[in-house]
Amino acid sequence: MRKTLIALHFTLPHLPLASSSSCTNPAFSSLSLFGSKILSISTSPITNFSQSSLEDTSPNHYPENVVNLSACEVSIQYTHPGQNDTINVIVWLPTNWNSRFMGVGGGGWTTGARTSLAWPASKGYAAVITDGGHTGSNRQNPDDWALASPGNVNWVLLQDFAAIALDDASTIGKAVTKAFYGEDAKYSYWSGCSTGGRQGQMLAQRYPTQYDGILAAAPAFNWESFIPAEFWPQLIMNLQGEYPSPCELDAFTQAAIAACDELDGVKDGIINDPSSCTFDPYMVVGQPYSCRTGSSGTFTSSGAAVAKATWTGPSTVSGKQLWYGLSYDASLSGIANTTCTSNGTCTGTPFTISNDWIRLFIAKDAGFDTRNITREEYDAIFRQSVNQYKSIMGSNDPDLADFKTAGGKMITWHGLADELIYPNGTFNYFDRVRTGDADVANYFRVFGAPGVAHCNGGPGWYPGNVLSSLVDWVENGVTPEVLEAKTVTGQERSANLCAYPKKLVYRGGDSNLAESYECVE
């Protein structure tokens, strides 16, 4: 086992492996985390547990129902004395343990969810999640914790969310695993997407010895930049005072797909290489459109302005590019969303996390109305987000020397039709790592997934066996040159996703088969 950065001190009773009688409080009563105070430890046997794939929030695998799972649940509540936080960690210890440990990431403002433990436990992993100190009834609502008082950020809980709780949970989870099974896990893995992807990147950068292998999908790193960038289309709508309907915005996306779909040689609703698409939304202004919902209308210049803003990304008043845009085949409903009444009056509906970030962490005022932001104020908001929070939330340090030295391996994959997080931000990070280390591909690889939306969904090829590729890399030294992937909606199609900077290119034959494509740099 690799050495952890924070020691967890405890004495181990002699326990038989996965004994049902060991799922008791006394078995874990001697646990203690340096720098923290354990407030409570509780245990609960889990028998014949089942969970529908629809309830599953664990990332990076194909939909699968969990049935007849037996495990021991251990819940630990602790605090960092003097910091007035309360953090909860939950560990599931399956009876069919595969000698591996897994930390599972969260999504949005949620640091981790109990519903993400069943799938890895069903595969034999001892699995851990943390709530990051967000103990309110609605953990997706930062209004409950973001401000210590009006004008003052709760830095303790933000730091817990950003990094500290991740390290704590990993250390606690490993110790609980050893206490239960009587031996250390042979290998440790992290799996997350979105916020969970950012958490994985943070662990590789700040706590590089915690995990042997990290899956950091569609990572919400570059937080200080991409979160305010998500508000850009809403700003454009607010400034022009016009809000296109969701129907029109979706029609712009379909028009872009129609224009660029066959650039790769296959008409399949997927833009394999979004960088090759140069569709101009103003070219269809004045033309009629029909939506998949049955509605219809005429393309407007205000709608074109919103679509173009989403695709090109934010810039300053002087024209300096601030961040990237989304791909042409990404749904505009993610960050350019609007809501319309029955009489056709529409208003902007900003992505919640972006709106919350500006209100609570930049303005530091829960009552701040983002609809009144001026063009100049937006530039200032973007700058302040970077200046105040990059070191806390950015998770984008390109120096992975310690992770490399520790022997860690990391795989990141990102759907190219992601409607929330900009794929080019992920590719830019890899480029920055490679600039500092030409050997980066020996321990860190990034894969683009054409046609896949945020973490899953869309008509594209989803890499649902990516965990197997990571395990094979860590434990057997098999470097993943490609990721096997398939579509999960409609007719099943397969493809091998390419390691960036290579791109997937159709070479002829049956477009449903992986052998009809190759990776070209």
- 485: CB partners within 8 A, 6+ apart: 449, 461, 462, 463, 464, 494, 495, 496, 497
100-104 vs 87-94, strand pairing mode: unpaired
Which residue, 398, 394, 456, is CA-closest to 428?
A: 398
Q: Using N-to-C axis directions, what is the helix angle for 301-312 and 232-240, rounded to 10°?
A: 160
Q: Residue type for 509, please?
A: G
Confirm whether 418 is a catalytic residue: yes
Identified catalytic residue from 116, 418, 469, 516: 418
User: Catalytic: which of 122, 170, 191, 194?
Assistant: 194
Nearest-angstrom CA–CA distance, 132 and 124:
25
Q: Which of 80, 134, 414, 454 is catalytic?
A: 454
Concatenating the DSSP letter of every residue in 105-156 gives --BTTBS--GGGSHHHHHTT-EEEEE-TT--SS-TT-GGGTSEEETTEE-HH
Residue 520 DSSP SS3: strand
Which residue type occupies 369? D
- Per-residue CA distances from 243 to 280, 303, 465 (Å): 19, 7, 41
- Catalytic site residue 52? no
Secondary structure (DSSP) of 208-263: TTS-SEEEEES---SHHHHHHHTTHHHHHHHHHT----HHHHHHHHHHHHHHHGGG
* 194 counts as catalytic: yes
Catalytic residues: 194, 418, 454
